[in-house]
Amino acid sequence: MRMPFGIVCAQYIFQQKMEKIFSNLEGLGVIVDDILVSGKDDKHDRNLIYVLERARKEGVKFNPEKCIFSAPTIPYFCYIITAECIKPDSRKFQAIKDMLYPTSKEELMMFLGLVNFLSYYAPNLSALNHSFRVRKAGYIPVDRCSQIRDGKDQGF
């Protein structure tokens, strides 16, 4: 699928197209260009064959260098999936730790978007990022960062 450069909604169009192509297949997760095929033993193999057949029929091509088969640990769209658990990818934590403190409303919104995916894994995330959300709403001047910086350091 090719689209002109600069279309703001291109990611959403691509996601819809992928969901349509691979709809009605069992044991399948599709997020943008990450496809996860799951199932136990023979069922996994059968699900994989169905995905590959559908991809061939629809003209979807895979990069063999990016494909992972029969691995005990799978990176999948910001997460690491193992037989035991699903956990956030440590690279996301590092990206949060390496971020500069937000100095504008736009930067603050980007920061909140980045940490939002942690909400399942951090039950107290709402309390930790309260000062950020209050600041986003405009109750605290954008240039007053000391209290918010302390909250970021303690929370992450």
- What pLDDT shows up at residue 28? 92
With a cut of 50, say whether residue 145 has pLDDT above it: no
pLDDT tens-digit series, residues 44-58: 999 999 999 999 999
pLDDT tens-digit series, residues 17-49: 999 999 999 999 998 888 999 888 899 999 999
pLDDT tens-digit series, residues 71-89: 889 988 888 999 899 888 8
With a cut of 70, say whether residue 143 has pLDDT above it: no
Q: Cα-flanking dihedrals φ and ψ of residue 8, to 5°?
A: -60, -40
The residue type at 149: R
pLDDT tens-digit series, residues 88-135: 888 877 877 787 777 777 887 787 777 777 777 777 777 777 666 666
Q: Round to whole Å and give the CA distance between 80 and 136.
A: 30
* 81 Cβ neighbours under 8 A, 6+ residues apart: 36, 73, 74, 75
